[in-house]
Chain A
């Protein structure tokens, strides 16, 4: 993965609630546990020594059960809650040391927030709600209304401007919440359990739309959730929290396949891997042969690799079909070309297909399923054993880095060898 710019850097940030937070902080530094601190000082440790970076343009999910400190953590990022210790840098600027005026500037321009229960102003229309952030910046009415309308259009709510929040369904209300946050044009979106109050079908739609918006606009999104499926679905990276501490940070695959401790392991054991892992995760290097190399080369290659079929590509490495070892043998015996024995009707899928959508294709074909990109370039193949192994949670079947397709040059090496 290429080196990305750090948008937010959180360093050793701690939040202690209660009167004796200084004393509690001292105890915390001495390595006392949350329970011991509560007992001796009456202070509650909300977040303990959280450190993480969020890269520009990624969706960073903070996930944990209720009481794990995730809501406290996200509120420290725009200082709705002041950290007790630590530093939080956004674009290199430490917001912890900012005064009220500077902080207001950051909140107005850089960070938007979406709330679990929408937090729309019930006495304002949808349009007035959406333009709120611009209104308090003193932007002229015509300009802010135009921006608010654009923002509403973006979330698919054009035409609802004059309605009141109570007239809208939950899903639509949260779209308004999203539009309101986007209207300011912030770089960073904080979403606190934004979809948790919605019913499952609407929630899935909203997740899809958020991903689409993220794809189109490239905002940095920090998304809080208690729902692991949601975290795995939308997160580029996930931070898992427990009792105020971050227990693991990683990509969805890393969290699933190599849990850092028993807690994470227990957390992820019920995950339906078939809905999380994609063809790209389990595909193997594809052996292929260019069509003009002929049947003999194809056969040799298959023998060498110990496989019973091979994919055939054209000069531009675009997939045109497959050939089985038996057919290739028949072709060499009877002097036919590779083209004569080519099976053109081969099943193909794209790398982002989730495993659950693969079963049907994999079960009805005799040769490995080809994974191709939009240009019909062969990316890899799906082998039945890998599919089952991955579903069983066996990490060795999951790719940690992108698979390089094997090109024709290698065929020549084999040929000469």
Chain B
């Protein structure tokens, strides 16, 4: 049976659109690409200049400063374990990719979340886009990312940013909206400006929720490293991908375990960063 309507050429439209963007904004994308590549590779080189034992101790001290001694010890032991397995440089590459994408996700996501919490219209526009970002299979937007930014670490960063940004935006909006109504009334009744209300009351009170979003963004970004390696992003993800394609079970476990260790360190540290601030909680 023939379809009543001709087939919708949606795919063609997307292709045309991507082509048009590449042709007309090629230099813009090249610029972004060079910038991101510089940051990721630069930070890897910087970290690699320091001996691994020194860097591991520095990370452990950072963990101690932000959270607890227990986590600091785990950080030191875990990182040295990765070094001992021989994945130190790959780990640095992965860390650099993750941190770069998370920072970008936060720089865009937190202000967007704040804006969304203040403007119902913005929120209405953002929400379906967030749904799209979270549910669209990552491979689908990896393809255009390659067209825009070539093979390598940059499309990996872009894919990680897209995938990891939604929780930060959502939880920032949620955290700010959850501030009790009578506190908002109190700030208004004393004559606060919108900015004063946000910075002195709403954002400080939303901080634990916002930090939960940051934590989620980091975890999602870590979960993207293997997929990012398929477009040529180097790092532990790349090692996992190679082990899988070459059916090396042992190496797969070694590298997988290394990713888990990094994930646990980042998770525990960021969880504590959200809780540690003294004072009361929201009623």
> Contact: A121 with B201, CB < 8 Å?
yes
A124 at the interface (CB under 8 A from B): yes
A159 at the interface (CB under 8 A from B): no
> Contact: B183 with A121, CB < 8 Å?
yes
Give the total of B residues in contact with A, Cβ under 8 Å: 23
> Contact: B185 with A136, CB < 8 Å?
no
> Contact: A104 with B193, CB < 8 Å?
yes
Closest chain A residue to B207, Cβ basis: A123
Q: A124-B279, A164-B279 are in contact. Are A115 and B182 (CB under 8 A)?
A: yes
Contact of A119 among B185, B277, B281 (CB under 8 A): B185
**How far apart sit A132 and B200, CA to CA, in the bound complex (Å)?**
9
A67-105 interface mask toward B, CB cutoff 8 Å, 1 = contact, 0 = none? 000000001001010000000000000000000000111
B282 at the interface (CB under 8 A from A): yes
- For A164, the chain B residues whose CB sits under 8 A away are 279-280
> Contact: B182 with A132, CB < 8 Å?
no
> Contact: A80 with B185, CB < 8 Å?
yes
**How far apart sit A314 and B201, CA to CA, in the bound complex (Å)?**
66
- For A248, the chain B residues whose CB sits under 8 A away are none
B191 at the interface (CB under 8 A from A): yes
**How far apart sit A106 and B192, CA to CA, in the bound complex (Å)?**
11
B190 at the interface (CB under 8 A from A): yes
> Contact: B182 with A184, CB < 8 Å?
no
Contact of B191 among A104, A165, A190 (CB under 8 A): A104
A122 CB to nearest B CB, Å: 3
**How far apart sit A80 and B197, CA to CA, in the bound complex (Å)?**
14
> Contact: B279 with A123, CB < 8 Å?
yes
> Contact: A107 with B191, CB < 8 Å?
yes
CB within 8 Å of A: which of B233-283?
277, 279-283
Q: A119-B182, A119-B185, A122-B205 are in contact. Are A136 and B191 (CB under 8 A)?
A: yes
B166 CB to nearest A CB, Å: 27
A135 at the interface (CB under 8 A from B): yes
Closest chain A residue to B180, Cβ basis: A119
Contact of A113 among B186, B196, B200, B201 (CB under 8 A): B186
B179 CB to nearest A CB, Å: 10
A117 at the interface (CB under 8 A from B): yes
**How far apart sit A167 and B193, CA to CA, in the bound complex (Å)?**
29
B204 at the interface (CB under 8 A from A): yes
- For A108, the chain B residues whose CB sits under 8 A away are 190-191
B48 at the interface (CB under 8 A from A): no
> Contact: A80 with B188, CB < 8 Å?
yes
A133 at the interface (CB under 8 A from B): yes
**How far apart sit A132 and B201, CA to CA, in the bound complex (Å)?**
10
B189 at the interface (CB under 8 A from A): yes
Contact of A107 among B183, B188, B200, B283 (CB under 8 A): B188
Closest chain A residue to B279, Cβ basis: A123
What are the 3 tightest A-B residue pairs by CB atom distance, in nearest-first order?
A122-B280, A107-B191, A108-B191
Can you list 17 pairs linking A and B with CB atoms under 8 Å apart?
A104-B191, A104-B192, A104-B193, A105-B191, A107-B188, A108-B191, A112-B189, A117-B182, A119-B182, A119-B186, A121-B183, A122-B279, A122-B282, A124-B279, A132-B187, A132-B200, A136-B193
